[in-house]
Structure 1
Amino acid sequence: MINQRRRLFAGVAAVALVATAGFVVATRSGDSGTPRGNTAAAAEASGSLTDAQKVVRKREVNVLLVQRSNAVLHGDMKSFLAAVDPAQSTLVARQRTLFVNLRKFDFASLRYSLADERKTAALTEKYGPTTFSTRLMMRYQLTGLDASPVQTDLGYAFVKRDGRWIIVADNAIDGTLSRDGHRQPWDFKEIAVVRRGKVVVVVDKSEVALGNKIAQSSEGAIAAVRRHWPRPWSGAVMVVAVPEARVMATVWSTGTGTGTGWTVAAKAVTLYDGEPLATKTTPPVGSRIVVNPSVRKNLDQDLLVHEMTHVATVPIGYLAPVWLVEGIAEYVRCHAIEDDPHWTVDPYRKAVRTKYLPSLKVLPGQKEFDVDGDKSYGQSWWATEYVASKVGVKGMASLYTDLAVHGTSPAAYESIIRKHTGETSTQLAAAVRKFKG
């Protein structure tokens, strides 16, 4: 039996390309493939390209990228590795592992394309003036998981040798890429992918037994979310529980704040289809649950319930306030715990009433979460319990939906709060502080 205190509090702080050497894709500059003049060749050799020559380069490299995406979809490792510099054994080995990992997923679609050039002096000095370092876009859809395609960025460097482009670096410009996106589960050591119903669990190749255990817990967590969240949800989810801490660039400890135990145990990483570095203006496509490597072998089901509530609610919209986003996840988690007559959240309830409510002046925002996570999670849960007691669970879900879609400004936020609760946000905070539950 899981320790009660651990069970009650485990989820509180949880929130939140393409090689066998020898064959190289052959492309030549120019629209017709005819030999070019000495001027064009000299310009390319010096790295001083005109805009027209850059258009040709983009077309040539995109041809290579199409071949690589097709190689993944059709299981052709030789074609995937064909454009990797054969002189770099470490790079070839890393790309081979990437191919093996990608083939373990069921891609409904996959496309790589060029984005923007990222000139890097160190790479040019190392590989010569034709070096082309650039962001790539990886747009893909996983069968049974993604309702529509999602997009992330990668960083590669290409060099032209003997009229052919080859990949010479696949990680040299990582620091300029999106924080969450470019370090995917398939980008490091070899993995195992465990499937159970609509659940996909990604673990280290040596930890299949752990993957099966997490998959089983995930099915129970999905059932709990469906019991306590009234809106439809397919239950399709990916849980990433690998030893590599860099996956999706998660920061596993805040390093600040006064709350006890303020270490992130897992988080739901939101996925979009669009420029990864741009301000998000469209609804999310979905989420992946990423587990802190240090807790992956002792993952509690109620922690998964919290994170899967995020997976169920995120596609609605991205404008809901953090107190309601996290409050609903805690609401579902706590009610799921009390589905079992042998468990209770009374200790947590008591802590919220005695320690966290007396100081509540405003419903917690990101600033409050950053300062004291424990308190902010507790206050957010209690605020959600209050809203559910006042307007019902379906009313609570309607409030979330309205805010997630239409909460575009402080004025809109206040109007929506008043419409659904009959109170201003200030009155709501005061009522939450007095609420006994």
Structure 2
Amino acid sequence: MSATTPGGGTSGAQAPPPGPRRWPGLLLAVALVSGGVGYTVEDRKNDAEARTVATQAPKQDPPKSTRPSRISQAVAARKVAVDSILIRRAQAVQTGNEALFLADVDPADKKLRAAQKILFANLVEIGFGELGYSQAEERINQTAVQAHGPSTYLVRVLMRYQIPKVDITPVTTELGYTFITRHGHWVLADDDDLDGELGPGAHREAWDLGRIEVHRGPRVLVVVEKGDTKRAQRIAAAANEGLAEVTAYWPRKWRGSVFVIALDETEVRDARFADEDIESAASTGSTFSSLPGQDTADGTVAGGYIAINPNERDRVDEILLSHEITHVATADLGGYEPLWLAEGSAEYVSWSGIEAISGSGEVGKWEQEVIDEALPQMTALPTDLGFYESNADVYGVSWLAVRYLVQRIGIGNVEALYEDMAAHGTDQGSRDRILLSRAGLTEATLWTALATYRPQR
């Protein structure tokens, strides 16, 4: 039950350079390929300037040093050709044209073409409102060159998309594509040669992992394996209940939707249930409108998707999902809040739901267990470093801290504290300043208060 925020470990992110929003422009720029040289809008502008100069001065051959070399001509032609392929792939998905999507896939690679057919079907089923691909930078991989031949071109590709009613703004993920020439034409030869060099979770989106089935509700999107219909319906119902709990117990007026991925995969996006997250039932991973390293070091978080541990899919309920949906509802606030506040707030919402159903007795019992058993094992609030690897009950202590703050300043003020921390809690000094101004405490004095806390019942 972890939130993925900018940082490292379970709070991992992805990382790359200049993003797109240029695909419509590429439709204009990819105009002509003549004599092996890409001819773009910019080239036409330069030609117009050259013609103006030509009317004012006698013609003469340019110096050899200014003439484009055969290599630069080939590189320019390759860029135009690959840009054209990327544009066609996006157009094919948006128009449901499988033949167009496969037209630029290596015709000699039957395995790749079969996988690309599945990918195409998944992308169409997701139903993107916006979709585009753009080249980022070339990568070198000698193993891939040996496998595919001397014409091999590997490039990191940015996929920018928006899922209607899920993404409030277009978001970006990354891929690695391998292109080669076949009979004088560039074709896609592989799509996973660069997976090990990309950011966490790259090429591990829901649509990348085998044939899927999509179930939609007013504010819920659930993805399962093809044919896993009953499970999808159960999870969608639980997500709707979880949404209601977040609306009832967290003050922020969040109008977003929930994307739940429940596949038989131990690695989905940046959730790795096969290793450090083996105990987690679910994980909420960030989506980025601007990837880390693109415009800023940390990137710009746009929202979050929930991935379910495949071993827990049959035990998903509204309690688990209300916790994760709280992470989704706070994902776009900045991501600098301490993990004890992020996880404690999510636990506060889910336990509020339990309290509403079963009364205060069960919640009071757990609260006392945290006070008697968890607090004595710790000497301070849980730190971000190692939070998800800790053997201590960091979730319980985090919940107790938020519960204490709610009793001290009220849930509305705790939510305002969260927003301030998420936007500005970039270091310990900032966190203590915000906590002191809004609750009259620092993290150290909050811990002292918890150590002597005796709840009234």
Q: TM-score, normalised by structure 2?
A: 0.82
The answer as to 2:406 corresponding to 1:385 is no
Which among 215, 218, 221 is matched to residue 200 of structure 1?
A: 221
Structure 1 counterpart of 2:37: 30
- Percent identity of the aligned residues? 34
Structure 2 counterpart of 1:395: 413
Which among 154, 157, 175 is matched to residue 133 of structure 1?
A: 154
Counterparts of residues 234-273 of structure 1 (less than 5 Å): 234-252=255-273, 263-273=279-289
SS in 2 for 1:284: strand
Write out per-residue CA displacement over residues 399-427 of structure 1, whole angstroms, 9 at most, x where no aligned residue.
10111111123222121111011122211
The answer as to 2:161 corresponding to 1:144 is no
Q: Which amino acid aligns with 2:37?
A: G
The answer as to 2:328 corresponding to 1:311 is yes
When Rg is computed on C-alpha atoms for both structures, the one with the higher figure is 2
The answer as to 2:175 corresponding to 1:154 is yes
RMSD: 2.4
SS in 1 for 2:304: strand
SS in 1 for 2:289: coil
Q: Distance in 1 between matches of 2:160 and 2:314?
A: 31
The answer as to 2:396 corresponding to 1:375 is no
Structure 2 counterpart of 1:189: 210
Write out per-residue CA displacement over residues 219-275 of structure 1, whole angstroms, 9 at most, x where no aligned residue.
00000001110011114110000112222142225559xxxxx70110101111223
The answer as to 2:108 corresponding to 1:87 is yes
Q: 1:431 to 1:394 in 2, by over 3 A?
A: same
1:434 Cα deviation from its structure 2 partner: 1.8
Write out per-residue CA displacement over residues 352-384 of structure 1, whole angstroms, 9 at most, x where no aligned residue.
111111233222112352442551111111110
Q: Distance in 2 between matches of 1:155 and 1:31?
A: 23
Which among 261, 284, 306 is matched to residue 301 of structure 2?
A: 284
Comparing 419-428 with 277-286, greater Cα deviation is found at: 277-286
Comparing 350-359 with 378-387, greater Cα deviation is found at: 350-359
Q: Distance in 2 between matches of 1:268 and 1:388?
A: 24
Q: 1:380 to 1:49 in 2, by over 3 A?
A: farther
Which among 347, 352, 367 is matched to residue 330 of structure 1?
A: 347
Comparing 56-65 with 108-117, greater Cα deviation is found at: 56-65
Which among 55, 78, 81 is matched to residue 60 of structure 1?
A: 81
Which among 246, 258, 275 is matched to residue 291 of structure 2?
A: 275
1:27 Cα deviation from its structure 2 partner: 5.8
Structure 1 contact 13–264 (Cα < 8 Å) conserved: no
Q: Distance in 2 between matches of 1:86 and 1:27?
A: 22
Structure 1 counterpart of 2:429: 411
The answer as to 2:345 corresponding to 1:364 is no
SS in 2 for 1:244: coil
SS in 2 for 1:183: coil
The answer as to 2:347 corresponding to 1:340 is no
1:13 Cα deviation from its structure 2 partner: 11
The answer as to 2:455 corresponding to 1:434 is no
Which among 184, 188, 213 is matched to residue 167 of structure 1?
A: 188
The answer as to 2:310 corresponding to 1:293 is yes
Q: Distance in 1 between matches of 2:275 and 2:368?
A: 26
SS in 2 for 1:232: coil
SS in 1 for 2:137: strand
Structure 1 contact 151–276 (Cα < 8 Å) conserved: no
Q: Which amino acid aligns with 1:369?
A: F
Which among 314, 320, 323 is matched to residue 337 of structure 2?
A: 320
Structure 2 counterpart of 1:20: none
1:282 Cα deviation from its structure 2 partner: 4.4
Comparing 265-274 with 178-187, greater Cα deviation is found at: 178-187
Write out per-residue CA displacement over residues 288-322 of structure 1, whole angstroms, 9 at most, x where no aligned residue.
00000111122122111110000011111111111
Structure 1 counterpart of 2:142: 121
Structure 1 contact 323–364 (Cα < 8 Å) conserved: yes
Comparing 121-130 with 48-57, greater Cα deviation is found at: 48-57
1:391 Cα deviation from its structure 2 partner: 0.6
Q: Distance in 2 between matches of 1:221 and 1:318?
A: 22
Q: TM-score, normalised by structure 1?
A: 0.86
Comparing 55-64 with 400-409, greater Cα deviation is found at: 55-64
Q: Distance in 2 between matches of 1:411 and 1:52?
A: 54
1:180 Cα deviation from its structure 2 partner: 2.2
Q: Which amino acid aligns with 2:357?
A: D
Q: Distance in 2 between matches of 1:219 and 1:264?
A: 21
SS in 1 for 2:362: coil
Which among 167, 173, 176 is matched to residue 197 of structure 2?
A: 176
Structure 1 contact 152–181 (Cα < 8 Å) conserved: yes
SS in 2 for 1:366: coil
Structure 2 counterpart of 1:211: 232
- Could you list the runs of 5+ residues in structure 2 that have no partner in the other structure? 5-9, 12-31, 41-68
Q: Which amino acid aligns with 1:384?
A: V
- Could you list the runs of 5+ residues in structure 1 that have no partner in the other structure? 1-10, 17-25, 34-47, 257-261
Q: Which amino acid aligns with 1:106?
A: G
Structure 2 contact 235–317 (Cα < 8 Å) conserved: no
Q: Distance in 1 between matches of 2:94 and 2:303?
A: 22
